[in-house]
Amino acid sequence: MAESLQSQLRKHLAALTAAGVEFVPVAPPAPAGLFRSSASESAPDPDADRRRQLQVVATDAAKCDRCPALFSTRTQVVFGGGPVSPDILFLGDAPWADDDRDGQPFRGEAGALLDKILAAMGLSRAEVYLTTAIKCRPPRNRPPTADECGHCRGYLDRQLELIRPRAVCCLGETAARALLGVSGGIRTLRGQTHDHAGTPVVCTHHPQEVIQNAALKRPVWDDMLRLLKLLGRVPPAK
């Protein structure tokens, strides 16, 4: 491109010389601010306010002591993370030991399997929001109680309002019951599309269950295909 401009300039100067022009006046520099580079023009971030409000909710949760048994044994509150307006928000039951240590949900073996499932769906961890029904690890990874889920519900509701996922995927029975307020087991809750405040919800087995029972791989994948279909997406070819 630079050579082409140089070549054009030479030809233009040669034409001017041939026409008898002996000098070309130099233009004064443009006034400061007349031209702005595209790098200096930063478009306003339409999601900045939602991100700021999410940070406020996370800061509130970090100080929460509503569940005495969890408050006294947790290392930290695991709020969750990911982009706002994702295609999918994955909801687990509670932070596990690795999550409690790292401050992020879905670490460890179950998280590694979730990463593989996401990759098979054509997604990455960075593209989805990951959180749990309660934000503090129960001692010895026991399931959260209904009371604990109730105490934490306000944080989850605010997350859903601010994150606005196109679909929610509940991983495991506890997460499904906590979000949907139903009492059925995961085998009856999966295989259909539920609704939460206008957002479609698909329920499936928790990755930890799949680690313990390989026969669940097929039904979990069927649920992921249901999720992708809802979103108008197709999994990448293998």
Please report, as ranges, the residues that interact with ligand SF4 according to CB under 6 A: 61, 64-67, 70-71, 77, 134-136, 148, 151-152
Q: Which is nearer to ligand SF4, 93 or 173 (CB)?
A: 93
Instruction: Give the Å distances, CA to CA, from 27 to 19, 24, 31, 53, 100.
Output: 21, 9, 12, 51, 65
- Residue in 34, 33, 15, 32 with CA at minimum distance from that of residue 24: 15
Minimal distance in Å, beta carbon 151 to ligand SF4? 4
| Single-letter code of the amino acid located at 124 | S
The answer to whether the beta carbons of residues 183 and 199 sit under 8 Å apart is no
Question: Least distance in Å: CB of 72 to ligand SF4?
Answer: 10
SS3 state of residue 226: helix
**Cα–Cα distance between 26 and 28 in angstroms, integer?**
7
Which CB sits closer to ligand SF4, 136 or 163?
A: 136
- Considering beta carbons, is residue 71 or 142 the nearer one to ligand SF4? 71
For ligand SF4, give the closer residue by CB, 162 or 220.
162
What minimum distance in Å lies between the beta carbon of 87 and ligand SF4? Answer: 26
Q: Which residue matches tokens 């307006």?
A: 85
Q: How far is the CB of 98 from ligand SF4 (least distance, A)?
A: 17
| Inter-residue contact 163 to 54 (CB < 8 Å) | yes
| Closer residue to ligand SF4, CB minimum distance, 67 or 176 | 67
We find the least distance from the C-beta atom of residue 197 to ligand SF4, in angstroms, to be 20
Distances in whole angstroms, Cα of residue 174 to Cα of each of 67, 149, 155, 205? 17, 9, 16, 10
Across-strand partners of 196? 199
10 Å CB burial of residue 156 (0-12, 13-18, 19+) is buried
* Shortest Å, Cβ 95 to ligand SF4: 9
| End-to-end Cα, the chain, rounded Å | 41
Looking at beta carbons only, is 87 or 148 nearer to ligand SF4? 148
